[in-house]
Each structure stands twice: as structure tokens, then as C-alpha cells.
């Protein structure tokens, strides 16, 4: 997705049944969505810097824990090969028959 973000955002919109109109494309809607969903934008939102998930419960998690470096392949610093294999298996199982491939 990083290599051709515009193409994949359009494909995702088609997949979920809400393709972009030519007018939306001309107005830059795809670019706006990409900007709003970018790692840089999301990781810098105040709620993601200081907010907490499950606040008021025993398992409070700071939102900033969900953001690391935003670099392709950085998962290798956090997951063992076995963990990655398990995630791949679960992903294939869940997406089987959906028409969506990653």
C-alpha cells in the first residue's frame, strides 16, 4: 500500500462498495483521505498522544502504544517468525472468499 497508496485506497473503496466518483477524484478526495489516515497525522492527534483506551477500567492502555515508527517491515522488531506465521494464517483464514488479498 505504501508504494501506490492512491491505487490501493481506490481498490479498497471499490471493495467495500463505495467507489470514488470522477468528481470526488477531481476534487482531491482520495488525497485528503490518504492525508487524514497517514501515520504522521494519526500519530500526532492529541487523543493518540495523551488519550487512554478503556479509561476507568483495570486494563487502561495509553493510545500512544499503538504507534511505533510507521516503517514498512518494522514488525520484525516486535514479532517472532512464529508470531508472524500465525498472523498470516489467521489473516488468510479470515479473508478467504472475500476477494480481498493482502
The per-residue pLDDT for range 36-72, each reduced to its tens digit, is 999 889 888 888 877 777 777 777 788 777 777 778 8
Q: What is the pLDDT of residue 89?
A: 95
Q: What is the pLDDT of residue 35?
A: 96
Residue 2 has pLDDT above 90, yes or no: no
Query: Are 92 and 101 in contact, with CB atoms under 8 Å apart?
Result: no
* pLDDT tens-place string over residues 5-29: 999 999 999 999 999 999 999 999 9
Query: Are 49 and 64 in contact, with CB atoms under 8 Å apart?
Result: yes
Which of 84, 87, 45 has its CA nearest to residue 67?
45
Cα-based torsion angle of the residue sequence 100, 11, 15, 26 in order, rounded to the nearest 10 degrees: 170
Amino acid at each position: 500500500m505504501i508504494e501506490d497508496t492512491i491505487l490501493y485506497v481506490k481498490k479498497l473503496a471499490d471493495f467495500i462498495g463505495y467507489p470514488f466518483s470522477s468528481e470526488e477524484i477531481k476534487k482531491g478526495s482520495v488525497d485528503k483521505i490518504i492525508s487524514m489516515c497517514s501515520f504522521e497525522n494519526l500519530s500526532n492527534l492529541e487523543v493518540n498522544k495523551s488519550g487512554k483506551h478503556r479509561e476507568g477500567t483495570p486494563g487502561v492502555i495509553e493510545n500512544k502504544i499503538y504507534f511505533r515508527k510507521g516503517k514498512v517491515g518494522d514488525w520484525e522488531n516486535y514479532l517472532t517468525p512464529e508470531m508472524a506465521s500465525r498472523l498470516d494464517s489467521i489473516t488468510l483464514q479470515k479473508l478467504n472468499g472475500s476477494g480481498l488479498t493482502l
